[in-house]
Amino acid sequence: MSALYIGIDVSKDFSTAQAIDWKGNKCFYLELAMTADGFDKLLKAITAHGKDITQVTVAMESTGCYHINLFSFLTHKGIRCIIINPLLTANFARLSLRKTKTDKKDALTISQFLLVHKDSLLKTDLSPDRQDLKDLAREHESLTNLIAGMKNDIRRMLQITFPELESVCNIFSETILDLLKQFPSARLIKIAKPNTIAKALLHEDNRKKISVSAEDIIKAAKASVASHGAAKEIILPEKISTLQYLIEKKVRMKKALVKACEDMMVEDIEIITSIGGISNITASRLLAEIGDYRAFSTYKHLIAFAGLDPSVHQSGKFEGISRISKRGNRHLRYIIYLMTTCVVRGDNIFRTYYQKRRAEGQPFKKAIMATAHKLIRVLFTMLSKRTTYKSKEVNAI
C-alpha cells in the first residue's frame, strides 16, 4: 500500500500538488512552476515526506499535452504516476455539498479520488513506453485526418480547374498528382504538347505507370468546362506537394508505430491480426490506446472505456432512445469503428452477423456498433486466453 497519495492539478504554466496519507490526512501542499526548478521542488517535497518513493503514487488529470512533461519526469525518477479522466474526478467532486472550486481544492479532490479508487487505478498504470506508443498512434491519426482534409481541398479545387479529370482516372494516384503539379488545370493541359503529357505518365525506363492514356486526359481537357483561375493554378501544386509530404510522413509514422508495438506486444498483434481484415497498423493503434488489456476485468469495462456502452434514458413509463454514451476514449472508439468495418468485409462470421442486424431493420451505424460489441468480446477473449482466431468458436462468444 502506498504511504503517500499526491493529486496534481496541472495547468500550462503553474500546477498545484496536494499530498495525503493512507488515512486521508493532509501531508503537504505545493505550488510549482512547470519548469525544471518547479519539478525539482516537487521531487524534494515528495522525498522529504516519503523517502521510499516506491510507496508514493501520483495522480494527475489528462490535460492534452500539459501533463506529459511532468508525468515523464516523475516516472523516470521511479515514481508511480497515473493519468485520470477529468470526467471521473468531476463526478467525484459532485459528491461534496460544497461548491468551492480552486486549484488547491481540485488537487485535493484528485488525491482523495486516488485514495478511494487506488485498487482499480493502479491497474491502469501507464508506463513511459506505453505513453510513447500512444503518442505515435495519435500522431498517425492526426496525419490521417490532415491527409483527408487536404484531399478534400484538392478535390474541390479540381472541380474548378479540371472537373472532368476525376471521371477519367484516380486523381490521387502518385502519377496523376505529379502530372497536376506540372499542369494543374485543363487549360494548361490543352496548350501543352501531347508528347509532354505522355512522358509525364511514364516511368524513367519508359514503362507506363497507369492505365489511362495521355490521349484520354487531353480529350477530357479539351472538352472541359473548367474556369480559368491563375491563382488556383499556383495554389493547387502547393497543396499537392503538402499532400505528398504528409503521405510520406504517415508512412514513416506507420513503420515506427508498428515496430514499437511489435517490440512490446508482438504476440498481441499476432492474435488480433488473425481475424481477417485487421492489419498490423490497425492492431497497433488499438493496442496503443488500450494499453494493458489486463487492466479491464471484463470486456464490458473495455466497451465502456471506449464510450461504446449504451446510454439509456428511462423514468417511470418513459423510455428514451438508447445511444452509445461517447464518454470514453474517442480515439479508441474511432479505431474500433474502422476495425469493425474492415472485419465486416474481411471475415464471413462478422459479415453474416452484421447482415443479420441489417435484416432486422437496424440502420447502418447501429448494426456496425452491434458488430463492434461482438468484435470487442472476441478480441478480449482471444487476448485473455492467448489464442488466435477460430471462426467456428466465435458464435459461442
**CA 77/CA 389 separation, integer angstroms:** 41
Confidence band of 125 (pLDDT split at 50, 70, 90): low
Question: Which run of H or of E encompasses 261?
Answer: helix 230-272
| Domains of the chain by residue range | 4-126, 134-251, 292-394
pLDDT at 6: 93
pTM of the model: 0.76
Instruction: Examine the pLDDT at 305 and tell me if it is beyond 90.
Output: no
Q: 300 with 325: CB under 8 angstroms?
A: no
CATH T-level assignment (fold) for domain 134-251: Helix Hairpins (1.10.287)
Of 309 and 4, more confident: 4
pLDDT at 97: 59
| Cell representation of residue 82 | 497515473
* Strand 318-319 with 80-84, pairing: unpaired
Q: What is the CATH number that goes with domain 4-126?
A: 3.30.420.140
**CA 62/CA 64 separation, integer angstroms:** 6
Question: Which run of H or of E encompasses 28?
Answer: strand 26-33
Confidence band of 243 (pLDDT split at 50, 70, 90): very high
Q: 88 with 116: CB under 8 angstroms?
A: no
**CA 89/CA 249 separation, integer angstroms:** 37
Residue 77 Ramachandran class (φ > 0 left, ψ -120 to 50 alpha, else beta): alpha
The least confident of 13-27, 60-74, 330-344 is 60-74
How much helix, strand and coil, in percent to the nearest 5, is found in the chain?
Answer: 60, 10, 30
Instruction: Examine the pLDDT at 320 and tell me if it is beyond 60.
Output: no
Of 180 and 212, more confident: 180
In one-letter notation, the amino acid at residue 23 is K
What value does the mean pLDDT of the chain take? Answer: 88
In one-letter notation, the amino acid at residue 217 is I
Q: 46 with 3: CB under 8 angstroms?
A: no
pLDDT at 303: 92
**CA 279/CA 272 separation, integer angstroms:** 9
Q: Model confidence over 371-388: pLDDT tens digits?
A: 999 999 999 999 999 999
Exposure pattern of 28-63 as b/e (b: 16+ CB <10 Å)?
eebebebeeebbebbbebbeeebeeeeebbbbbbbb
User: CB 138: neighbour CB atoms within 10 A?
Assistant: 15
